Amino acid sequence: MQNRVLTLDEFIFQKQSVVNYASGELSGLLRDIGLASKIIHRDVNKAGLIDVLGDAGKENVQGEGVKKLDVIANDTFISSLRVSGQCAGVASEELENFIAFTGSRSERAKYVVLLDPLDGSSNIDVNVSVGTIFSILRRKTSDGPCQLEDFLQKGVEQVASGYVIYGSSTMLVYTTGHGVNGFTLDPSIGEFCLSHPDILLPSDGSIYSINHGHRWNFSNGVKKYIDHCINSAGDRDKPYSLRYIGSMVADIHRNLIKGGIFMYPLSKSYPNGKLRLLYECNPMAFIVEQAGGRANDGQTRIMEIDPYELHQRSQIFMGSPKMMDKLEQCLKVDYVTEEVEG
């Protein structure tokens, strides 16, 4: 019988010998991400005390206000990945172009990392959960500085992905394609400890997460699904609950544990969707699928979308399979109408 918790490093080391990343490079990379997350945890937790609140006075490449902590998180991850030697380069929500690390170890490294260093960062100022999202790809080029093609790969090519939620406790949740495991940070020992082994998303749920204030702006299919959630309360043992934190990591994490659906549809304000395919949608879709759920853009599985640019956006729906079935039924009105008109 195991008499103490397993730390993230111990867990990664154990898994390294039973799955196909026995060279230790991916393990090293995951450990480096864990270390960078602990530094961000420290900064997020004292955000009200140190001078990191408010705008950093510039906009990110998406034209959105950059918070100071976004910049700190971005720099922390990049330096950690740069020194690791296991990573050939990084692309981030906060960087217009990817960075190719130089030096013989990095240029020989097998992996590239895509990041949203601090997702939901507008929530920082009001003490609400935020998160980090990461996606790890095996590079396509074999040597020398990494290239754009190394990053522009479909989600199905991910070798690992995960997120860190800086919430009432800090948790790191990741997958390498062999299920999903969650680790809670014990700040007293400074270690992520296995707290949620083999996370399985309930097949059905009663939580729907969407920015309801934009309802007028959604397609008829999405409106139909929202109407279903509102109107079918009497037919169910438990009515649906709307829960929307506005930090995707926190919304998905809750749904993963309790069952539910998360939606960020396209709208007039975001004609291509808001969330970024490569470092927000793909990594979260990999987690959700590995936990037994589904993730699509209404028609195509998220992880099968062919990317053409680093900061590409997508509409996204993901969650419990039974809720996704109902949603897909409702969305048919959008696509049937398009076919008739086309």
Q: Which residues bind ligand AHM (CB under 6 A)?
A: 64, 93, 116, 119-121, 211, 246-248, 264, 274
CB of 283 to Mg ion, least distance (A): 11
Q: Which C-beta is closer to Mg ion: that of 94 or that of 289?
A: 94
Please name the amino acid found at residue 203. S
Q: Report residue 3: phi and psi, to 5°.
A: -105, 5
Residues of this chain that interact with Mg ion (CB under 5 A) are: 116, 119
Q: Which C-beta is closer to ligand AHM: that of 121 or that of 158?
A: 121
CB of 193 to ligand AHM, least distance (A): 26
Alpha helices for the chain (secondary structure H): 8-18, 25-45, 68-84, 104-108, 148-151, 220-231, 248-258, 282-290, 321-341
What is the per-residue DSSP string for 134-158?
EEEEE-SS-SSS--HHHH---GGGE
CB of 176 to Mg ion, least distance (A): 23
CB of 254 to ligand AHM, least distance (A): 12
Name the binder of 11 from Mg ion, ligand AHM, none, CB < 5-8 A by kind. none
Neighbours of 57 (CB within 10 A): 8
Q: Which C-beta is closer to ligand AHM: that of 69 or that of 201?
A: 69
Neighbours of 95 (CB within 10 A): 17
Q: Which C-beta is closer to ligand AHM: that of 109 or that of 324?
A: 324
Q: How far apart are CA 284 and CA 38, in angstroms?
A: 20
Strand partners, 51: none
Read off the tokens for 251. Answer: 């919304």
Name the binder of 191 from ligand AHM, Mg ion, none, CB < 5-8 A by kind. none
Name the binder of 227 from ligand AHM, Mg ion, none, CB < 5-8 A by kind. none
Name the binder of 32 from Mg ion, ligand AHM, none, CB < 5-8 A by kind. none
Name the binder of 99 from Mg ion, ligand AHM, none, CB < 5-8 A by kind. none
Q: Residue 268: which H helix or E strand, with range?
A: none
Q: Which C-beta is closer to ligand AHM: that of 240 or that of 262?
A: 262
Q: Which C-beta is closer to ligand AHM: that of 109 or that of 277?
A: 277
- The answer to whether 173 and 180 are in contact (CB under 8 A) is yes
DSSP-derived pairing of the beta strands 261-264 and 316-319: antiparallel
